[in-house]
Amino acid sequence: MMRHGRFALLALWLIAVAAPAWGAPPLESVLPNGLRVLLIPEPKAPVVTVQVWYRVGSRDEVSGKTGLSHLMEHMMFKGTERHGKGEFSRLIAGRGGTDNAFTSEDYTAYFETLAGDQVDLALELEADRMTGLAVSDDEFALERDVVKEERRQRTEDDPHGALTEHLSAVAYLAHPYRWPIIGWMDDLDRLTAADVRAYYRLHYTPANATLVVVGDVEPTALMGRITTLFGPVDGGPRPSRPAVIEPPQRGERRVTVKRDVQLSSVMVGYHVPKYSHPDSYALTVLAGLLAEGRSARLYRTLVYERQIALEAGGDYTALSADPPLLYVYGTAHPTTSAADLERALLDEIERLKTAPPGERELTKAKNQIEAQFLLGQDSSFYRGMQVGM
Residue 1 confidence (pLDDT): 58
What is the rounded distance in angstroms from the CA atom of residue 188 to the CA atom of residue 190?
5
Q: What is the pLDDT of residue 8?
A: 34
**pTM for the structure as a whole:** 0.90
**pLDDT per position as a tens digit, 335-353:** 999 999 999 999 999 999 8
Active site residues: 73
- What is the arithmetic mean of pLDDT over 49-57? 97
Share of the chain above pLDDT 70, in %: 93
pLDDT digit string, tens, across residues 189-239: 999 999 999 999 999 999 999 999 999 899 999 999 999 999 999 978 899
Domains of the chain, earliest start first:
5-13+25-241+378-388 (3.30.830.10), 265-356 (3.30.830.10)
Q: Is 385 exposed, middle or buried (0-12, 13-18, 19+ CB in 10 A)?
A: buried
Query: Phi first, then psi: what are they for 204, rounded to 5°?
Result: -95, 70
Q: Which residues contact 198 (CB under 8 A, 6 or more apart)?
A: none
C-beta separation of 308 from 332 below 8 A: yes
Rounded to an integer, the average pLDDT of 98-110 is: 96
User: Residue 369 above 90 pLDDT?
Assistant: no
Q: Which residues contact 286 (CB under 8 A, 6 or more apart)?
A: 316, 326, 352
Instruction: For 111-167, write each residue's pLDDT tens digit.
Output: 999 999 999 999 999 999 999 999 999 999 999 999 999 999 999 999 899 999 999
